[in-house]
Amino acid sequence: MRSCFLGTGGSWPTRERNVLSIALTHSRNTVLLDCGEGTQRQMIGSPVSPLKIDAIVVTHLHGDHFLGIPGLVQSMSLNGRKRPLMIAGPSSIHASVESSLSSTVFRPGFEVDVREMKDGDRLVVGSLTVRCASVEHGIEALAYRVDAPPRPGFFDRAKAESMGIPQGRLWGDLQRGKTIRSNQGGVDLEVRPEQIVGPARPGLSVVYSGDTLPHGSVAALSRDADALIHEATFSDRHADLARDYLHSTAREAAEIASEAGVGSLFLVHISPRYSAPDLIDEMRKEACEVFPGAIIPSDGECFEIGRRTNKPCKPEDGGAGAVRTCR
């Protein structure tokens, strides 16, 4: 599963960071997590195509998470999109989407399917399943878990060869769950998939918190996820502001990740006050004291999310890890 961080900042755009938007892609399906202003421009030069986005899920209706939708939808339409687009979010999402699209005096040339969600709801986006949980941010707000389908079990190549099954179509049939029948050297073979292929493995999973005070619902939703993307608006030096504005610090996000047993942690929604590199390093160190290998991505960075691990994620942090950068 690929995670592309189109915008990683909070509240308003800066020279270093645009406001939040993250694209998750698995196989042929792409879900956009939040869509702050300027998201469509952030896609230029990235692997993310506006025409290939299947759904936009919105955590809450503060502008830095939502205001990019009208422009993105208009650009999709002007570039010939015809297939439907799903937009999901908290209970007022339908009225907000309708109002924002109508205010541009522009109607898209495709269906916009708006889904209102509440705690515990789920929806299906192609091969992906999206679940949500309520969080605490002063207005109705959600966290999301995106689960890919189970992966095939491991194929026992040595056993297949020892049974005389020739490599090629028959191996592929077994991996697709089909019983094969063949005659090899005058010997009739009938082999069931479970004789060669191990049990299905869990699919990859990513959780995204949006904006919230540290909340048990995020830890519960994130249990054993491969990656957690959690807001970290403030460092320890401004923990009082985090409380006042119902946000999390980098350390608190790391505590949620550690409690949930996730494989990797990405910190986003960085306050504009932390533009200097030394302040970003300070936040990262605070998180790594609790969750080694925590990452604060930059705008435009993409990562391949792999199998769950609690080891540090980047080579320079000393781990082989579940995450590698890609461009």
Condensed to tens digits (0 to 9), the pLDDT of residues 43-89 reads 999 999 999 999 999 999 999 999 999 999 999 999 999 999 999 99
> Tokens 């949006």, residue?
210
| C-alpha atoms less than 13 angstroms from C-alpha of 242 in its C-beta half-sphere | 23
User: Could you count the other beta carbons within 10 Å of the beta carbon of residue 120?
Assistant: 10
Annotated catalytic residue, options 34, 54, 64, 147: 64
What is the reported pLDDT for 323? 57
Could you give the CA distance from residue 191 to residue 295 in angstroms, rounded to a whole number?
Answer: 46
* Other residues' Cβ atoms within 10 Å of the Cβ of residue 205: 25
First to last CA, the chain: 14
Q: Computed from CA positions of residues 317, 318, 321, 324, in that sequence, does the dihedral angle turn out positive or negative?
A: positive
- Give dist(CA 130, CA 222) in Å, integer: 12
CB atoms within 10 A of CB 75: 15
Task: Report DSSP state, residue 166.
Answer: P
Question: Which secondary-structure segment (H or E) carries 14?
Answer: none
User: What are the E-state strand segments in 13-107?
Assistant: 21-26, 29-33, 55-57, 85-89
Q: Which helix (H) or strand (E) holds 295?
A: none
Q: What is the pLDDT of residue 308?
A: 61
Whether this prediction's pTM lies above 0.85 is answered by yes
Residues of the chain within CATH 3.60.15.10 domain(s) are 2-151+201-326
- Token output for 23: 């694209």
List all residues 6 or more positions away from 277 whose beta carbon is below 8 Å from its beta carbon.
none
The pLDDT of residue 318: 34
- According to the CATH classification, is domain 2-151+201-326 in 1.10.3720.10? no
**Closest C-alpha to 265, from 280, 246, 279, 252:** 252
pLDDT at site 1: 94
* Cβ count within 10 A of residue 239: 15
- The whole-angstrom distance between residue 185's C-alpha and the CA centroid of its chain comes to 50
**135-157 residue pLDDT tens:** 999 999 999 999 999 988 999 99
Kindly report the three-state secondary structure assignment for every residue of 245-266.
CCCCEHHHHHHHHHHHCCCEEE
Instruction: From 54, 100, 109, select the one nearest 79 (Cα to Cα).
Output: 109
Q: Which residues of the chain have pLDDT under 50?
A: 309-321, 326-327
Residue 156 designated active-site: no
205-208 and 142-147 beta bridge pairing: antiparallel
- Cβ 169 vs Cβ 182: under 8 Å: no
